[in-house]
A and B are shown apart, each in its own frame.
Chain A
Amino acid sequence: MSQLKMKRFGLLGVHDTGAPGENKDYLTLVIIHGFSWHSGVLALLSSKYRC
């Protein structure tokens, strides 16, 4: 099973899709997950959707 690529910012692990294009004018949507479910459960999808 592939794993989501995680970065470490301080004490927290983060999955970052990166800038959507060359233009710096974009929205950054930062999401903090709820109880139990976390970004790691996306691992099954990451290779298919390259996200």
Chain B
Amino acid sequence: MLKLFLGNFLRLCQYAKSNNTRLVLINRRDYPGSEPYSAAELDSLSAALSDNPSSDSTLEDFVRERSLELAQCLSSLVAESSIAKNSILLTGWSIGCLWAMAFLVHAPMYHLGGIDLSDYIRGVTLYGLCSPNPHRIFP
């Protein structure tokens, strides 16, 4: 499985330049190079997974926070790089699709640093969407 995964990204990397593509690989929170979740954030996630009646709104808040940090990341990318308008294809893979969908739901409300990301996003791809219960996160 490791070899299969490496093979997938190997193809992307070696063909990026010849296909006039800039490849940007984001590590989600708690992965190398990204900020670990705080104890409060992990408590919030645990509460969201409980049977408490308020857990749905807690989960929505958690998802909204993830969409905000993704929007902040993309806004910084646009601000610091020579990225043209209408040129970004945002792709979620497997459970990463939940982050892409959260972005679709909430990002139109964000104008971070004067940047309207809707000017830059050409499209969103959900590749191999995998979620046991997406309607609970996006009711």
Interface residues, chain A, CB within 8 Å of chain B? Answer: 6, 8-21, 23-35, 37-42, 44-45, 49, 51
Contact = CB atoms under 8 A, between A and B. Distances in A.
Nearest to B91: A31
A17 B88 CA distance: 14
A19 B81 contact: yes
A14 B88 CA distance: 15
Contact of B22 (A6, A27, A35, A44): A27
B77 A9 contact: yes
Interface in B68-82: 69-70, 72-74, 76-77, 80-82
Give the interface residue-count category, chain B: 35 or more
Nearest to B21: A27
A49 B10 contact: yes
A41 B2 contact: yes
Nearest to A26: B20
B35 interface: yes
Contact of B95 (A25, A35, A42): A35
Interface string B18-33: 0111111111110111
B16 A34 contact: no
A19 B19 CA distance: 11
Given A10-B73, A20-B21, A38 B32 contact: yes
Q: Which of A21, A30, A51 counts the most chain B CB atoms within 10 A?
A: A30
Q: Which of A15, A16, A19, A28 counts the most chain B CB atoms within 10 A?
A: A28
16 contacts: A10-B72, A12-B33, A13-B26, A14-B27, A16-B24, A17-B22, A20-B16, A29-B22, A29-B23, A31-B12, A31-B24, A31-B91, A31-B92, A32-B90, A34-B93, A42-B9
